[in-house]
Chain A
Amino acid sequence: MADFLQQVVSGLASGGIYGSLALALVLIHRATGIINFAQGEMATFSTYIAWTLTTNHGWSYWPAFLFTLAVSFGGGVGVYQVVIRPNERGSVLRVVIVTIGLLILVNGLVQLIWSGEVRAVESPFPSGTFTVGEVAIAYQDVGTIAVSLGVVVLLWLFFQFTKIGLAMRAAAVNPAEARLVGVRVTWMLALGWGLAAVLGAVAGMLAAPSVFLDPTMMQAILIYAFAAAVLGGIDSPVGAVVGGLFLGVLLNVLSWLSQYGLFDWFTEELRLPTALAIILGVLLVRPAGIFGRQAVRKV
């Protein structure tokens, strides 16, 4: 039993990381209607900035953390204004290709600047573990999940109660009318990209202490994050986090059961395909996900 619970806890730990990146995907989709394939690479880039500041320039953690968030915000806004906005009109195909171009470009930049070597990133949480029964739980993992949930609450407050949040929603839902009532739509969309980049940076800095930083750090996580976001409902922050946790636990439980002959088709190769099957299944059966509201299709 302790084995099983340990697998669940490990799954929650992995899932917390998926969920934190999924939050960035959800935010950008909600604020601009775009799925950003480069989100993971942008997060990796941000994490390297934090690593450089703390390791090479002797900054302490929190100033480096805040500075990284600020740079990421600027980077997100800049990316939107410079490469996304001019390609937004016309078909979605162009935006998809541009974000994929960004993915390739940013990944190359990371390798060029920081090389492929594995790096350790400081954590804001204590490094040890505590045990409940025979199950070991790391402070780092608890912290990751707590931060993700905290972000969910902040996002909810932001979108529900602040003027900018409301304007952002309006800009995303109906740009033409929003413009009429005086919302600066372009800047609202740019703001969405900036905030998503900030969340991506947070996700990167939460993930790096446990999975370690290298140029491919976010590539696997991004795919699980897609699955988490779709599962929870691509417009729902709380759905993203819950979707991530569920996915992490599900994969570990399947893997654990397969040792005992249940679901014995499940092997390690199928971890990723299972997550992707979830994307397909959810999109086809309930495109709004678990927590999303089913949109009425306009005809």
Chain B
Amino acid sequence: MTRKLTLTLAALALVLAAGVATAGAGQEQRTSDPGVTATSILLGGTSPLSGSASAYASVARGADAYLKYANAKGGVAGRKITYKYLDDAYNPAQTVQATRQLVEQDGVFAVFNALGTEHNIAIRDYLKAQGVPQIFAASGATTFGRDVDAYPGLIGFQPSYQAEGWVYGKYLSRTGVGSRVAVLFQNDDYGKDLLAGLKRGLQRSKVKVVAAQPYEVTASDVQSQVAKLKSSGADVFAVFATPKFAIQAYVFANKLGWKPRLTINNAVSSASNIMLLASEGGTNKVVNGSVSVVFLKDPTDPKWKNDPTMKLYRQVMKKYAPGANVNDVYHVYGMAVAWTTVEVLKKVGKNLTRNALVAALGTMSMGRNPFLLPGIAIKTGPSDHFPIEQMLLQRWDKGAWKSFGGIWGYRAT
């Protein structure tokens, strides 16, 4: 026992000495920002690869596939882009830990395409303190585009949920299809922002929101909510829900024999494959004539069958994301983000620093992004970090979406 103790103490002393010796060795001088060399750029972000929101993992996969394709084409200014995405299981506590790993251990140049509203909120103060840009946060929460002064390095990508809701409101108040709107919305930031935007769009018009029913993302079904909305006597049904619940909403409305004059379905769940499921083989009349906004090219839409970009999309998916579902529109979203990133990096050029990147992000003006619908521009300004503020309306007609009318623009305030 005594010998064991002596040995232990000796070992301990050794360990302590070594510790003191190495303690000072950690500091190194940096000449440029982390994550950038003459031949490489390292981006990182979190994505829900596991857990209940893992359907959104396609956003990261699509972006990753496009960046690999871009690298194969020579990269940007001689640099290859590596995109390291880590699982956060859609839990903000894990987003925080994974983001710290990306920043402190992997030394990423910027946090890119991190998914989720609360998830981006949980890391933004930290990233600001670290001076790491937080680019193209994958969430439509208004705060990411609006609060530029507080978070100059933070920028979103997609149209804000408020903007989308506003477009529906304006459309309703201009066309007068119905006058009483019933809303099913997910009881979180996303659903509430859409509802708030809708109400703003309806201001000073005769159209009113007469009923709004929330549902929890943990619910098993939304049958009860749809029945309540039906009994409100509304003639417009607005569905602000994620795909599974949006399908349920259509099916339950049909079951209850509710025939609203118009149904509105938010962009999150208006992919053609979702609508086809909701239409129950064409028998569900509630689906017919549904209206939604759109800003991305839908991979299942036959009109893009010969579109060169969508052909490229399918090739890139096949090569760099084998086995993934090509019909999933979230992959297109990921590629649209990645395309924009490549363009911005090209614009910054050789002297790539974080400051230069943030400056370039604040002055984007791209006439066309091939993954977005023709006519939709990407534009930002010093106090406007909403890259996409334009969208089109589309109508579900005979089993396919058809866009109509001009481009709707919204300026968030």
**Which A residues are closer than 8 A to B by beta carbons?**
2-3, 6-7, 10-11, 13-14, 17-18, 108, 111, 115-120, 127, 129, 131, 136, 138, 210-212, 214-216, 219-221, 224, 251-252, 255-256, 259, 267-269, 271-272
Contacts and interface: CB of A to CB of B under 8 A. Distances in A.
Interface in B198-239: 213-216, 218-221, 223-225, 227-228, 230-231
A18 B220 CA distance: 9
B91 to A, nearest CB: 14
Contacts of A6: 227, 230-231, 256
B248 A211 contact: yes
The winner among B221, B228, B247 for most chain A CB atoms within 10 A is B221
Given A127-B283, A271-B216, A272-B218, A214 B244 contact: yes
A56 B14 CA distance: 65
B364 interface: no
B325 A211 contact: no
B280 interface: yes
A158 B231 CA distance: 45
Interface string B49-86: 01010110100000000000000000000000000000
A70 to B, nearest CB: 27
B274 interface: yes
A272 B228 contact: no
26 contacts: A7-B227, A11-B224, A17-B220, A108-B50, A111-B50, A115-B328, A117-B55, A118-B247, A129-B256, A131-B257, A136-B256, A210-B223, A211-B248, A212-B251, A214-B244, A215-B54, A219-B52, A219-B218, A220-B220, A259-B228, A267-B214, A268-B216, A268-B219, A269-B216, A272-B216, A272-B218
B255 A138 contact: yes
B153 interface: no
B273 interface: yes
Given A7-B228, A10-B224, A211-B221, 8 more contacts: A2-B231, A18-B220, A115-B55, A117-B273, A118-B244, A136-B257, A259-B228, A272-B216
B216 to A, nearest CB: 5
The winner among B55, B57, B215 for most chain A CB atoms within 10 A is B55
A19 to B, nearest CB: 12
B227 A10 contact: yes
B38 to A, nearest CB: 39
Contacts of A251: 224
A120 to B, nearest CB: 5
The winner among A7, A115, A117, A215 for most chain B CB atoms within 10 A is A117
Contacts, number: 102
Given A129-B257, A211-B248, A269-B187, A3 B228 contact: yes
Place the interface of chain B in its size category. 35 or more
Contacts of B54: 111, 116, 215
B243 interface: yes
Nearest to A9: B227
Contacts of B227: 3, 6-7, 10
Contact of B328 (A13, A117, A210): A117
Nearest to A10: B223
Contacts of B251: 210, 212
B398 to A, nearest CB: 19
Given A210-B251, A259-B228, A116 B223 contact: no
A229 to B, nearest CB: 15
Contact of B243 (A111, A118, A215, A224): A118
Given A7-B227, A136-B257, A120 B187 contact: no
Nearest to B280: A127
Pairs A-B, 3 closest by C-beta atoms = A116-B55, A220-B220, A3-B231
A220 B219 contact: yes
Contact of A256 (B52, B55, B228, B283): B228
Interface in B243-289: 243-244, 247-248, 251, 255-257, 273-274, 277, 280, 283
A122 B57 CA distance: 28
